[in-house]
Amino acid sequence: MDSELAAASQWATESNAAVFIRLISGETESGVVQAMDSEEGDEENEEGEGADVIEFHPEFTYPIYGEHERIFGYKGLSINLNYAAGSLATYFNIKYTKRIEQMESTSAVALKADDIDTPMRQILADSVCATQSEFAQQVVRDTRVFRPSGRKVHEYAGRSSQTEQLRYEIYSSSFNDTESAKYHERMQAFVLFFIEGAQFIDTSDERWHVYTVFERLDMNGQTSYSLVGFSTVYNFYCWPDRKRARISQFLVLPPFQGQGHGSALYSYIHAMVLGSSDYADLSVEDPSEAFDDMRDRNDMRYLLKHNAFAHIKGACVEQSAISELQHKHKLSRRQMTRCIEMALLKMIKSVKSQEFGEFRLFVKRRIYAQNMDLLQALDPDERKQKVAESFASVVDGYRRVLSLL
């Protein structure tokens, strides 16, 4: 039995590594087909003549294939999600070299391969292309004629050369627009692949707004688009007659990360909130550590540029002063407090100074107030240790952010 179990384990595949996501653009159908038929990891065949391919893997597949993120019953498995780079027209196919039912076995235990197709199709839009040929035709067409839905609200520069120029465009849309709703249906699978714990949003709720970022390539008189990232924003009611914008999902696709696109998108959303009297402030739902870092950098740059901390001279910052800054710059109270703490740390020359001692007390009081229920359950010595550890972690994080400004 042990030998049979060992043999069976050889048929297990990590689903994150088995799923290949491709963004494809192309001028010829044959080039698109050649790119799709290339072997993963073969750099010479990664792009067909007349086609451009960006390939990457998901960070998470547990919403599709279970919490262990393993698929049983295949060898040489590749699960291919092919997208037209701009329109996200989709073609899904599965390849493998061997399947366990195809092997002769004398085992008393029945071995059955997992269903790969059904769970994946459940998260994809209904408009998946039926054949590779149909998809290749759609890619060539969309490379020439696809234009983003919604309203263009911002544009910023990318790299350029003698033959091509890259620009990036941000579009605003809602689900009242049919084309935008259809586009979101194709795009939403990415949140499951790259945002831990994410779920699809209720597109029947008119209070949702979607912001998409596209790369625009102008080359030889032709313009084509590729999706870079997106954010969903929910508008809450704020008494008596305003809205409170909350960023819910925020994603820059892996090939475009580390290039400033997240900062450009976040800064636009904040600027939109600042520029409208309809909005009271901007908050974020359950931000990741990476998002918090990006947000902190951008908020601090904005606040320093606008001399927001000019009247803060020491750690004895009144709650009324925090509220005034929060309302003026339309940040959540938690975020405004963090930024004030970073500004105070930036002003301190030495950890041995009286100013640092006052700063430490100011931050520890905030940590204690935010975690009071948990801390009160501890004995005094352990409580003191936990607060000290939290303070050290907070300071390390602030110093990292300040070093990047």
Catalytic residue numbers read 285
Residues 6+ apart with CB under 8 A from 153: 170, 171, 172, 211, 268, 272
Q: What angle do CA 24, 252, 23 make, to 5 degrees?
A: 5
The rounded distance, in Å, linking the Cα atoms of 141 and 26 is: 9
Residues 313, 343: contact at Cβ < 8 Å? no
Long-range contacts of 158-165 (CB under 8 A, 24+ apart): 158/215, 163/219, 163/220, 164/217, 164/218, 164/219, 165/217, 165/218, 165/219
Q: What is the CA radius of gyration of the chain?
A: 26
Q: Which of 310, 349, 339, 336 is nearest to 401 (CA)?
A: 339
The rounded distance, in Å, linking the Cα atoms of 384 and 369 is: 13
Residues 26, 136: contact at Cβ < 8 Å? yes
Query: Scanning the structure block, which residue is given the tokens 């940590």?
Result: 367
